[in-house]
Amino acid sequence: MKRIAVLVSGGGTNLQALIDAQNRGEIVGGEIAAVISSTSDAYALERAAKAGIPGCVIARKEFASNQAMTLALVDKLKALNIDLVVLAGFMVILTEEMVNTYPNAIINVHPALIPSFAGPGCYGLHVHEKALEYGVKLSGATVHFVSAECDGGPIISQKAVEVLPDDTPEVLQRRIMEQAEWKLLPQAVSLFCQDKLKVEGRTVRILA
C-alpha cells in the first residue's frame, strides 16, 4: 500500500472527496496516511480527525521563507515514509527541494483547463473570476503532476465543465468542484497507487 500525504490550507473539500473515495474502496493500492496543513485553523484538519487520519501543522508563518518551510515539509514527509503527495487547496508555493525529492509523485488539482487561467496568481476564486471576465463557455479542472514550473507539470487528466450565463465565481467554483475536481482527483490518486501512470516527457500515459 502506497502511503499518501494530503497537503491542505483551508476547508478541505478536495480532501473530503479523497476520504469519501477511500471509504468507498475507490483508492486502490494506497491509503491516506497523513494530512498536513500550512495553517493551524484549517477545517481540513477536523475532516482528517473525523476520518481517523493523523493530522499535523507545518505553519508557513513560522518560517522565514517558502524554502525553509519546504525543507521542513520534506523532512516530515520522509519521516512518514510518504510515497505520494497530494496538494488539495495548498496555498504555499513549494520550492524545488520538494519536486526533487518527489519527482512525478506530487499531484495537484487546478480549477481550470490548463494552460488556460494557470500560472502565478491563478488560484482559488481568482481562476474563476478570470474565466468569467474572459467570457469562456467552458472551464473545468486539471489534475497534473507538479514540476518546478507553476501549473506546468505533465497533465494526468482534464474534464470540461459548462460556464453558464448567470454564473458568479462562487457558483462556477462549486460546479467545477462537483463535476470535475472531486471525481478526477481520486481517480488520479488511485491510478498512481496502482503504478498505472507513466510519464513520458510532458505526456502521462495511463497503463491498462
What Rg do the C-alpha atoms of the chain give, in angstroms? 16
C-alpha cell read off for 10 = 483551508
| Three-class secondary structure of residue 166 per DSSP | coil
Find the catalytic residue in 110, 126, 128, 144: 110
Asked whether 76 and 61 are in contact (CB, 8 A), the reply is: no
Q: What is the DSSP string of 7-25?
A: EESS--HHHHHHHHHHHTT
110: annotated active-site residue? yes
Give the bridge partners for 55, in sequence order. Answer: 35
Query: Measured between alpha carbons, how far is 44 from 50 in angstroms, rounded to an integer?
Result: 10
What is the layout of strands, in order, in the sheet containing 203-206? 55-57, 30-37, 2-8, 84-87, 106-110, 138-145, 155-162, 203-206, 197-200
Asked whether 27 and 18 are in contact (CB, 8 A), the reply is: yes
Query: Measured between alpha carbons, how far is 165 from 163 in angstroms, rounded to an integer?
Result: 7
Q: Which amino acid is at 134?
A: Y
Report, as residue numbers or ranges, the catalytic residues: 110
